[in-house]
Structure 1
């Protein structure tokens, strides 16, 4: 049976200021799962990486950060810790981010839960995907390796009927058209939602390079806890 790495690719600790999820909790989860691959995509800081690495020296911990850009929010991963640390005060465009073999970028919650300064695409939430979006989308997808198909926040909105099938179909179309991976993550800000959505990677992920390469090669399968997130029958992800 093929080994599968199950990784939550989007979550926030208290270091993000918007989260109540403690590093102590994350460390405890790691201690319970010796083979777990850990990361924390905090806003504007990579401190969780050093704290988790110190507490769990036998685990693979991936340097990560969530950055705000003119085009939206992005999850950045790299085997270059100094580069991730340098994004702490990032204030610019997606075009300013590195795009190389040592870095992977996921487009987080595309077009949903955006800051007011980010101009929405016409298909935001439930609208149709239109050709006039393509120029702006091309600017983004040229730099990213994956599209976040869903996270815990999006799934909660879908459960309430505020995001429907069209949104997910649009993202799948973008990923297919531009040869991008699709991912899932909990976007956890509290213990209750931690680990309730994730990305599965076929084969072992034993290094940061493995993780980055799997994203670039589209070897991903997003999934979630179907009991925790009860979506309408007409919404099939």
Structure 2
């Protein structure tokens, strides 16, 4: 089964992707499922699950979140409750475990995107070793080497902030069956293979400037 384990929607402040477009592009781009990982909220996940059913799409949505810890971003898959931002990475992970989450460190060495900067000595299930939203492959290669050295499963995610980029990077998951629980268990067991490619540079730059513009407008409005 092929999953994009890192997708953002309009419920993230730096994305304006509507849920329906994300779901439709995920199916179009060959995904069996996605993890909707909006910044510091799971609100969009409820909408996505409802819309999948209403649109009768053959697509699994894993309720997830990208938490802004004090040290950097942390993905938590398989939870339906938000986790407070700005706690330490250790406290964030503790809370994620309390909620039964599967913990992935995204873009750990991509400083501009609030990468954690390390993966050693923390209780995690996987590392994002292919993140499409990088201008070069350097940080992905560093993440891959670090994950391999620590025998931590490596996964892929597009980090898509526009629907067209959903599935640009992905994770092939050898799951026993098509349930969220089985998929998350397979990730923890390392039954995964990351794949994909970088988002075209002009698309990344356009997304970055659009995100800055949206944040600036929000601050002006108050």
TM range (shorter): 0.7 to 0.9
Q: What is the distance in 1 between the residues matched to 2:161 and 2:64?
A: 16
Q: What is the distance in 2 between the residues matched to 1:149 and 1:190?
A: 21
Alignment partner of 2:166 out of 186, 194, 201: 194
Q: What's the TM-score, normalizing by structure 1?
A: 0.70
Q: What is the distance in 2 between the residues matched to 1:210 and 1:178?
A: 24
Alignment partner of 2:41 out of 45, 55, 62: 45
The residue that corresponds to 1:172 in the other structure is: 144
Give 1:35 shift. Answer: 8.0
* Stretches of structure 2 lacking an aligned partner (at least 5 in a row): 202-222
Q: How many residues align?
A: 194
Alignment partner of 1:146 out of 123, 126, 136: 126
Q: What is the distance in 2 between the residues matched to 1:179 and 1:63?
A: 26
Q: What is the distance in 2 between the residues matched to 1:100 and 1:137?
A: 20
Q: Deviations over 1:106-155 (max 9, x none)?
A: 10111214467x7x85xxxxxxxxxxxxxx6423xx2211111121112x
The residue that corresponds to 2:215 in the other structure is: none
Give 1:199 shift. Answer: 0.8
The residue that corresponds to 2:188 in the other structure is: 216
Q: Secondary structure at the match of 2:68?
A: strand
The residue that corresponds to 2:206 in the other structure is: none
Q: Secondary structure at the match of 1:48?
A: helix
Q: What is the distance in 1 between the residues matched to 2:30 and 2:133?
A: 28
Q: What is the distance in 2 between the residues matched to 1:8 and 1:113?
A: 22
Give 1:217 shift. Answer: 0.8
Partners of 2:108 and 2:119 within 8 A in 1: no
| Shift in CA distance, 179/225, structure 1 to aligned 2, threshold 3 Å | closer
Residue correspondence of structure 1 range 62-211 to structure 2 within 5 A: 62-78=62-78, 80-81=79-80, 85-87=81-83, 89-96=84-91, 97=93, 98-99=96-97, 102-114=100-112, 121=117, 137-139=119-121, 142-154=122-134, 157-158=135-136, 163-164=137-138, 167-203=139-175, 205-211=177-183
Q: What is the distance in 2 between the residues matched to 1:204 and 1:23?
A: 28
Q: What is the distance in 2 between the residues matched to 1:17 and 1:9?
A: 19
Determine whether 1:24 maps to 2:20. yes
Root-mean-square deviation (CA, aligned residues, Å) is 2.9
Q: What's the TM-score, normalizing by structure 2?
A: 0.75
Q: What is the distance in 1 between the residues matched to 2:73 and 2:17?
A: 20
Structure with bigger helix share is 2
Partners of 1:31 and 1:56 within 8 A in 2: no
Larger radius of gyration: 1
